[in-house]
Chains A and B, each alone.
Chain A
């Protein structure tokens, strides 16, 4: 996996990170303990627009200031592996709880894309999110998805392909 571009999937627990990971990767998946910890990290390869990417499903995190071991590991992955794209998956029902981490990842200079997930549940709860305006406010790409039924995956793949090279985006 040496010369592949890297994509890290981050977000708080139970927002659909693993489902998204499964949608993108498919068969070649490695689950291993992060060195020196009991925290499991899942990695796999995805073929997007003819190019192969190494995808890492990071442990759940609420903040860049870690309290739990999972959060420490997730942050270490971001710092040490320097992903070319960070996909922040959030629960569209609960923007107020989700966006603090988005702000922190953007602040850290990571090449971030926001995956606005669980839109079906949000719609059922009567919640609508103006994703274009959200993208404008944050200054990053926002993709609308329902990972469990595959909605938005095509769009996500397109945006990943269009995102360009790491060196151009990374601070």
Chain B
């Protein structure tokens, strides 16, 4: 049998990877279960686990090893991991070209599609198509439209609510308790109704879309596609996953920002998730709200998109730090398996519901307390002024307060207000923009504190509060002066 293959890494002539590997290899004295060559390669690629291990085992040589690594990196214009991956891939290509024979000259469809998704010219239209079909049509029109209308209108308002209200008014003599259970913001009439009729279908459909995107292998391709644009806003392609997940649940996404390698990227993505990434529940309700007004949807999407890029760019400029580097192995495209999707979606929906159902009920109770103690009236009175600046009627003030308890709560309140025919097209767009940008929900706020610390979380919150109204004011001002009707 021959000797196992040795892959050579050349790199820059004056200081190749091989030189660094040899130097590091000479300094390693312990055994690791991996060859010295591999240990050296992993150290050069900033592998944290291996660095710790070597740090513990090679106390005498650690400083020297670190110096070799620093020294080697100076000679590279690309990140070392990229350089190494490229040379390895070249070796693989050489071997594959010798041993693989393709009978039909035709490229398999999956390969063609894979290339198309990563090429900016075709990839960006494909991204829009995915968003349009997956989010707008499936989650928005079908989920937030058809399914919600049925559950909300027919099931709850047609059957459950009248029944609950009747029973409660028969058996409970105290008005305050009646309100708690079956009032305008009651546990059943609001808490359970929003959770089951609005949020459940929307979130379930979003998680189905996310599972399909995840299992098909589209996410890493999307990461490659938008890596370059994301670098302008201080992020790398890696941040695609928390951002796309944020379209489902921003609280969950904030937790996932942990996977980003630098503190700076984590901070920027937390900021963007709090400000400009609507979650699926909110997205669903807003899309339902703007249904039948395509210009309004475009305007809303355009403003949110601009804010996302502008704030990302600004934060990246203000925050000091290196530009992130990013390289990812792209797995093959695959047809997602129905069974996998069902299992994943079920698990996520279950997790999500266990987290949010208590919050919904709690929110109902807090709102009830706030109302009978009249604290809310005070806060709502305070909110009236900014709400009227952005051209909305007084009745919209509570929506912003409740929006803090759940993002979609606010949007759902807007939904109710619109059903009563109280809003014009422009007002709808302005309100949707303000609510999308407005404070993250209380769960996300708590997650921000947990992940980024109290000071940063409060800073983000105040900025978002101020910024959301400023943007809404500007949009309302411009639309009003141009005499636009939507």
Contact = CB atoms under 8 A, between A and B. Distances in A.
Interface string B104-139: 101010000000000000000000000000000000
Residue of B35, B85, B330 ringed by the most chain A CB atoms within 10 A: B35
A100 B91 CA distance: 9
Interface in B1-51: 1-7, 32-35, 37-38, 41-42, 45, 47, 49
B100 A103 contact: no
A108 interface: yes
A62 B2 contact: no
B35 A171 contact: yes
A99 B92 contact: yes
Contacts of B93: 96
B45 A65 contact: yes
Interface stretch (A21-29, A46-54, A125-133): A125-133
B440 to A, nearest CB: 26
A64 B33 contact: no
Interface string A86-98: 0000010011110
A128 B332 contact: no
B98 interface: yes
Contacts of B59: none
Given A72-B49, A95-B96, A133-B98, A125 B108 contact: yes
Interface string B416-442: 000000000000000000000000000
B155 to A, nearest CB: 37
Contacts of A125: 108
Nearest to A65: B45
Contacts of B329: 62-63, 97, 100
Interface string A74-109: 000011101000000001001111011001101111
A67 interface: yes
Contacts of B88: 100, 103-104
Interface in B160-177: none
Given A63-B329, A97-B332, A107 B100 contact: no
Interface stretch (A34-42, A135-143, A148-156): A135-143
Given A63-B329, A94-B332, A99-B92, A112 B101 contact: no
B91 A103 contact: yes
B6 A107 contact: yes
A131 B7 CA distance: 19
B38 A64 contact: yes
Nearest to A122: B100
B4 A100 contact: no
B95 A138 contact: yes
A14 B42 contact: no
Given A94-B332, A96-B96, A97-B332, A108 B4 contact: no
A16 B35 CA distance: 27
A65 B47 contact: yes
Given A97-B331, A140-B4, A126 B104 contact: yes
B95 A106 contact: no
B38 A137 contact: no
Contacts of B104: 126
A12 interface: yes
A65 B82 CA distance: 12
B56 interface: no
Interface residue tally on A, bucketed by range: 35 or more
Contact of B5 (A63, A82, A103, A141): A103
A97 B111 CA distance: 12
A134 interface: yes
B103 A127 contact: yes
A62 B35 contact: no
Nearest to A137: B95
A129 B99 contact: yes
A62 B81 CA distance: 14
A148 B334 CA distance: 18
B95 A65 contact: no
B115 to A, nearest CB: 13
A134 B100 CA distance: 9
A99 B96 contact: yes
A91 to B, nearest CB: 8
A8 to B, nearest CB: 12
Nearest to B97: A96
Given A96-B92, A107-B37, A137 B98 contact: yes
Contacts of B4: 106, 112, 138-140
Given A72-B49, A95-B99, A65 B92 contact: no
A103 B45 CA distance: 16
A82 B328 CA distance: 27
Contact of A139 (B2, B89, B100): B2
B455 interface: no
A21 to B, nearest CB: 19
Contacts of A112: 4
Given A78-B33, A109-B34, A130-B101, A136 B2 contact: yes
15 contacts: A13-B331, A64-B42, A82-B33, A94-B332, A95-B99, A96-B96, A99-B95, A100-B85, A103-B92, A106-B7, A126-B106, A128-B103, A130-B99, A136-B2, A139-B1
Interface of A: 12-14, 62-67, 72, 78-80, 82, 91, 94-97, 99-100, 103-104, 106-109, 112, 125-131, 133-134, 136-141, 171
Given A78-B33, A91-B332, 13 more contacts: A64-B38, A65-B81, A95-B95, A96-B92, A96-B96, A100-B329, A103-B7, A103-B88, A106-B7, A107-B41, A125-B108, A130-B101, A140-B5
Those 3 A-B pairs whose CB atoms lie nearest each other, nearest first: A109-B35, A126-B103, A79-B33
